[in-house]
Every structure is written in C-alpha cells, then in structure tokens.
C-alpha cells in the first residue's frame, strides 16, 4: 500500500525547522531528507527514522520496524508522536547531524 501525500506533507510541516527538509517519492513510498541526507522513510503511512546513537538515546526504548522487506530495522515513530513538532524536529535534526554526507556520484567516461 502506497503512502498518502498528505501524510508526507504533515511530517514535513511538523519538521520544517529541523533544517532543509524535503521528501522524494520512490517506488510508491517516500524518502525524507534533511540537509541533503536521507533521515527517514515513509512507508505504508508509517514513519521510519534511520537509527543513530543520538536518536536512540533521545527517544529511549522505542519500537523498531522494517520499512520494506529485506531492509534493516529503523526506529518506528508512532502517529501520535507526529503531533509533537518539537519532539519530531529534534529527532530529525539530530539524526541528520549524526549521518555522513551522501557520496557524490561521478560520471563514467565514455570510451
């Protein structure tokens, strides 16, 4: 089941002050970016945040889940926590800070 655009829009609205947040549709689901880094996935209208030491320490004992078959476990953030903008913003911001910048892709030279 694909996620609804309204779900993604709400999450982006709630985390707008975390940095430069955006989302990109991928295979019917969404990747959430903060400052150019993928920090979360929205799959089946559920929010999965990439696990980092800072994020785990911030939220404490949390549920984990796999956003899609074969994926590594992510932090599963329940829908009732989405309404707390400060909480969600801090989690997304600290997750982005803990992740490395994405590697730049180099173009292959034609021979």
The whole-number pLDDT of residue 83 equals 94
pTM: 0.88
- pLDDT at 111 exceeding the cut of 70: no
Instruction: Compute the radius of gyration of the chain from its Cα atoms.
Output: 14
Angle of helix 5-14 versus helix 85-98 axis, rounded to 10: 90
The whole-number pLDDT of residue 1 equals 65
Region 33-53 average pLDDT: 96
Q: Please say whether the beta carbons of 49 and 43 come within 8 A.
A: no
- Mean pLDDT score across all residues of the chain: 92
Q: Quote the tokens at residue 15.
A: 């985390």
Backbone angles phi, psi at 75, to 5 degrees: -75, 125
- pLDDT at 85 exceeding the cut of 90: yes
Q: Quote the tokens at residue 50.
A: 């990439």
Confidence band for 36, pLDDT divided at 50, 70 and 90: very high
Q: Which domains are present in the chain? A: 5-98 (3.30.1460.30)
């Amino acid at each position: 089941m694909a996620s609804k655009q309204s779900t993604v829009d709400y999450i982006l609205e709630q985390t707008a002050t975390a940095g430069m947040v955006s989302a990109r549709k991928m295979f019917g689901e969404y990747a959430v970016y903060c400052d150019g880094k993928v920090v979360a996935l929205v799959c089946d209208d559920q929010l999965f945040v990439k696990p980092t030491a800072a994020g785990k320490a911030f939220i404490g004992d949390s549920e984990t889940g796999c956003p899609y078959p074969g994926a590594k476990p992510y932090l599963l953030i329940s829908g009732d926590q989405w309404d707390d903008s400060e909480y969600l913003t801090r989690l997304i911001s600290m997750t982005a800070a803990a992740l490395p910048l994405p590697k730049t892709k180099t173009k292959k030279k034609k021979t």
